[in-house]
A and B are shown apart, each in its own frame.
Chain A
Amino acid sequence: MRLSIRFVSAALAGLLLAGPALADTTLLNVSYDPTRELYQDYNTAFAKYWKAKTGETVKVNQSHGGSGAQARSVIDGSPADVVTLGLAYDVDAISEKAGLIPADWANRLPYASTPYTSTIVFLVRKGNPKHVKDWDDLIKPGVSVITPNPKTSGGARWNYLAAYGYALNKYNKDEGKAKDFLISLFKNVPVLDSGARGATTTFVQRGLGDVLLAWENEAILAVNELGKDQFEIVVPSLSILAEPPVSVVDKNVDKHGTRVVAEEYLKYLYSPEGQEIAARNHYRPRDIDVAKKHASEFPAVSLFTIQALGGWQTAQKTHFADGGLFDSVIGAAKQ
């Protein structure tokens, strides 16, 4: 008995000593669904870069899920060193609800801590049989539009706000007319999936709908994976600049002693190599040179930012809170 205890403790000590030799540092990157491939590539590149720079080995673990659900897991104690989420509202929530991140987190990195961007585009069936060219075509009778529920899906909030911003622009900021536009749009929405991937499945596998509103990176991925002979992408005249934010989780990195490497992990996203990886994974790069190189993949489109709609906190309150504009839009659309 005593012998076995001694053996076990020796083995444990051995494990503990052997641990650091395997990996000097481990980071946990809590991200949202569509960045899985992006960060797989990026983590390998960053580990190489960090090894060359400091001689240390770093291993980055990833966690993916809906942006809101991921933010909640961090609030509830997931030991994330960095978060790379779908919208700033979710990082704000981590800051507000759990105090793990200072309120001015967005000012710490360039472009309000959003190293890559995307936009909302239309995915249509091959040949574009319903001749969908712009947002106005989506409210025509007989056109069926697939978009997930903005109350449960971060991605869908971008879709909804892109449509709203377009309508505001079209009707000279007349909010009543913009609301009517949204009502006509949601009259054409037959299903509200709870998440973006569910909506893609509905459109692609179920064959439901003429148009799928999607993030550009998801749309490109869908076309590449499922066949260029089945779908094509339509870029509207005006859309929203979707800016997925990144942040170090301060309280956690201080506890883990990983602040230096975690900050560098996010900074390196802005480097030419980081930007190149983002572009390869169909996110629009911030770096002008990298953007030029990939110009053919990302067609020019007029973009407005969430700031034009008052920022995420305002947008969330006005549109997506219970009793907000989306509730009354969907109520009117379903009558």
Chain B
Amino acid sequence: MSAAKSRVIPGFAPTLGVTILYLSLVVLVPLSALFLKTAGMGWDDFVTAAFSPRVMAAYRLSFGGALAAGVINLFAGLLVAWVLVRYDFPGRKILDALVDLPFALPTAVAGIALTTIYGPKGIIGEPLLKLGIKVAYTPLGVLVAMTFIGLPFVVRTVQPVLQDLEAEHEEAATSLGATRIQIFLRVIIPAILPALLTGFALAFSRAVGEYGSVIFIAGNMPGLSEIAPLLIVTKLEQYDYRGATAIATVMLSASFLLLLTINSLQKWRRKRFAGE
């Protein structure tokens, strides 16, 4: 019997065909249209549209903010997932459901809600302002919104892995005389690291492209609190389709490279982990 016949669901060829067709229609065709549109412009035009100082400042804010938000969620998300998996307490189910809210909330609603809370007259914004910390309408506000929308990604990718992690591993480590810190760093972290990285990558890429929830809290001051997606909208508003696609192309390429790096990191990690 060949390997193909022993598969539970037969039909490698049709399923692969459908997969490729589906991916092409949903992902590849729109993206290649983007690149084609950009390819129509001269190199000089491309550089002016995609790398002017104002656009560079926006990239720094979008990518920097998304990275920072991703790192915050890496730690916060791990903690939340840990609490939800390892402890049983009243209201755990409700807490668990709360985690998904940033997924479900329309982004504009999230943006308006966050701006209300962190605004100069908001319940968190006002006390913070008295301490001299301005949140809404500053880059810090952008970070808050990006952190908000990214949290579920890390929690939801780490949670199932933590759940599957058997207590026997930790018991074995304890019986071999490992300290708590050693168990955490050398038993638990290696097992969940791939999931953590995936969650980080998802949260990061969502935050880079985020428009709706960030736009209300950002302040949108050129060179200061202006995110890259806003510049795309600005270009579209001038019917400058090419300029808009130029910025989009740069963002897409940068995100793709970053995600590729994270993926290869994971692969390398898995190999090493499996080899030990």
Contacts and interface: CB of A to CB of B under 8 A. Distances in A.
A151 B221 CA distance: 12
Interface stretch (A34-42, A203-211, A263-271, A301-309): A203-211
B102 interface: no
A231 to B, nearest CB: 16
Given A322-B243, A334-B222, A190 B137 contact: yes
A327 B239 contact: no
A191 B220 contact: yes
Interface of B: 52, 54, 112, 115-116, 119-122, 136-137, 215-216, 219-224, 230, 233-240, 243
B116 A194 contact: no
A334 B230 CA distance: 18
Interface residues of A, dominant DSSP: loop
Interface in A58-85: 66, 68-69, 72
Contacts of A72: 236, 239
A192 B218 CA distance: 9
Interface of A: 66, 68-69, 72, 93, 97, 149, 151-152, 190-194, 198, 201-202, 205-208, 316, 320-322, 327, 330-331, 334
Contacts of B136: 206
Contacts of A69: 236-237
Contacts of B121: 206-208
A322 B223 contact: no
A152 B233 contact: yes
A190 B219 contact: yes
B48 to A, nearest CB: 8
A320 B137 contact: no
B223 A151 contact: no
Contacts of B52: 322
A313 to B, nearest CB: 12
Given A206-B115, A206-B120, A334-B224, A198 B239 contact: no
A191 B222 contact: no
A151 B220 CA distance: 11
Contacts of B119: 206-208
A125 to B, nearest CB: 13
Given A190-B137, A190-B219, A334-B222, A152 B239 contact: no
